[in-house]
Amino acid sequence: MRGGLWTGTGCQVYNDQRHYAPLYLPDGVVEQDPQTWLTALIELTQGAVQFARVESDQIEAVSITAQRSSVIPVDSGGIALSNCMMWQDRRGQDICDRLTPYAATIYQKCGARPTTVFLGPKISWFQEKRPDIYRRAAKFVAIPDLLIAFITGRFVTDTTYASRSLLMNLRSLTWDEELLRLLNIDKAKLSEIVAPGSIVGNSCASFRTLTELKSGTPVISAGGDQQCAALGAGTLEEGRIQINTGTGSFVIASSDSLRLHPDMAVTCGCSAIPGKFVLEASILTTAAIYRWFKQEFYRKDGYEEINHDAGSSPIGANGLVLLPHFQGRGSPDWNSRSGGTFFNLNLGTTRGDMARAILEGIAAEIAENIEILDKLIERTCEITAAGGLTKASIFNQIQADMYGRNVNLGINSEASLFGAWISAAVGVGLYPDYKSAKEASTHGEITPVVAPIFANTAKYQELRGLQVALYKALCTVG
């Protein structure tokens, strides 16, 4: 969890973070203790307040962005009744299977197909498997909703999160009665929907006691982390694509209108800019795979060693191919039963080959989804990448080569935080619109660009063909 302080002109003057990881358990269970985030929120706010005090300044507003599709049942006081069911959790698969006959209806209403990633099937799972918790819960909230309620005492969620629930109608931006019936969810257990960038409340006295943040400080729901990442990277106009590589990777294109894919291959959701939409493809595990690989094969070494070894392996990783489906496959076909696969291992395979195969497998999956977005948007003009994996120069080159296009790395590697600042700057009236806030905060910096090596692009076309064939063959066997 990250926190920072930004000036009114978009300069970051303070940054801090807390590290944690969810529990990956058998049978697709992924959980986390919600107190983790509340403790981190308190500590990060305390640090920011103390920094501002030293600078003889004070915090004028708090902007919240977070991951979007994890769910926590809470009582009327905002106290969690169980661990958070994380977005990667797959316990709702049976519910999604039952919804398959209604998939087209659901997609037409909310822009997403029934999958275990989204909030609705998770809430339905509680209703069916933990009815005691379902009855006791006043609300089922996403992580940002929990944080906002903790600061302000108010239960709200903005449209960027609600559009990841399978429960909100994208046209009316309200909870949809038919979708609620299909998933057997009581609307009263859901938070009030607001626009992203809204001031959703003010910090309360109890939060001041914990953090020393002055009571009455405005709190803004900036929008989901991926929408904020797209905003921070400048993905404001239709046709621009943002790739954000965190635990999973998300490929987002801005759209001025609601666009639905004829085969439901990509999700359409609400942008962090009210009135706009995002078309989104999801690769469920990316940096999480690299982190797993480090823990299992490089326990005493850092990522520098892994990246060095990956660079020592040739293009194609000496024939090794990875399907990066460690928690199932996301876009375009959302196959939760697909598993992570290293193909063509032999006694000559090195750790470096495995590291490179991981990076190439991730980039190949992203490339497949970029091509789908290209056809849906009909014009894409620029690719920007941000997130943890972009700190590895070898991955950035692999991306440019795999896509056959320039990859802009963006000025700020923490695009989600930057986007949350932009949302807040407009929300509190510092700037009249998102474009002017973005332009005022670049301070003349030049965007780094990684250009493709087209000879490598041709080789990667062959690799992508092999990866697709391998996936199809495994699906046939399964």
pLDDT of residue 288: 92
Average pLDDT over residues 361-372: 96
Task: Please tell me the distance from the alpha carbon of residue 199 to that of residue 217, in angstroms, as a whole number.
Answer: 10
Average pLDDT over residues 136-160: 98
Average pLDDT over residues 411-426: 85
pLDDT of residue 326: 93
Query: What kind and span of H or E run contains 290?
Result: helix 287-297
Percent helix, strand, coil in the chain, to 5, is 45, 20, 35
Lowest mean pLDDT among 35-44, 89-98, 297-306, 444-453: 444-453
User: How confident is residue 244, by pLDDT bands cut at 50, 70 and 90?
Assistant: confident
Strand order in the sheet with 449-450: 267-270, 277-283, 249-255, 240-245, 382-387, 407-408, 449-450
Q: Which CATH architecture has domain 2-223?
A: 2-Layer Sandwich (3.30)
Number of Cβ within 10 Å of residue 188's Cβ equals 7
Question: What tokens were used for 412?
Answer: 């700020």
Rg of the chain taking only CA atoms, in angstroms: 22
User: How confident is residue 445, by pLDDT bands cut at 50, 70 and 90?
Assistant: low
pLDDT of residue 377: 85
Asked if 213 and 41 touch (Cβ cutoff 8 Å), the reply is no
Cα separation values, 37 from 2, 67, 196, 244, Å: 10, 12, 21, 22
What residue segments make up the domains of the chain, in order of their start?
2-223, 234-478
Lowest mean pLDDT among 171-180, 190-199, 238-247, 416-425: 238-247
Asked if 84 and 33 touch (Cβ cutoff 8 Å), the reply is yes
Q: What is the CATH number of domain 234-478?
A: 3.30.420.40
Assess whether pLDDT exceeds 90 at residue 227.
Answer: yes
Helices 351-377 and 393-403, interaxial angle, to 10°?
50
Task: Please tell me the distance from the alpha carbon of residue 471 to that of residue 400, in angstroms, as a whole number.
Answer: 23
Short-list 114, 242, 222, 232, CA closest to 161? 222
Assess whether pLDDT exceeds 80 at residue 435.
Answer: yes
Instruction: Let me know if the fold of 2-223 is the same as that of 234-478.
Output: yes
pLDDT of residue 21: 84
- pLDDT tens, 185-204? 999 999 999 999 999 999 99
Assess whether pLDDT exceeds 80 at residue 379.
Answer: no
Q: Is 159 helix (H, G, I), strand (E, B) or coil?
A: helix
Rounded to two decimals, what is the model's pTM? 0.86
Assess whether pLDDT exceeds 80 at residue 443.
Answer: no
Task: Please tell me the distance from the alpha carbon of residue 418 to that of residue 423, in angstroms, as a whole number.
Answer: 9
pLDDT of residue 106: 97
Query: What kind and span of H or E run contains 277?
Result: strand 277-283
pLDDT of residue 58: 87
Across all residues in the chain, what is the average pLDDT?
Answer: 93
DSSP conformation letters of 50-119: HHHHHTT-----EEE---SS-BEEE-TTS-BSS-EE-TT--TTHHHHHHHGGGHHHHHHHHS----TTSH
Position 207, amino acid: F
Question: What tokens were used for 43?
Answer: 């500590």
pLDDT of residue 389: 92
User: How confident is residue 155, by pLDDT bands cut at 50, 70 and 90?
Assistant: very high
- What residues are paired with 74 via a beta bridge? 80, 139
Short-list 338, 373, 124, CA closest to 267? 373
Task: Please tell me the distance from the alpha carbon of residue 28 to that of residue 339, in angstroms, as a whole number.
Answer: 11
Question: What tokens were used for 8?
Answer: 């009114």
pLDDT of residue 428: 93
Question: What tokens were used for 328?
Answer: 């199932």
Assess whether pLDDT exceeds 80 at residue 444.
Answer: no
pLDDT of residue 238: 83
Percentage of the chain modeled with pLDDT above 70: 97
- pLDDT tens, 390-412? 999 999 999 999 999 999 987 66
Asked if 293 and 306 touch (Cβ cutoff 8 Å), the reply is yes
Average pLDDT over residues 43-67: 92
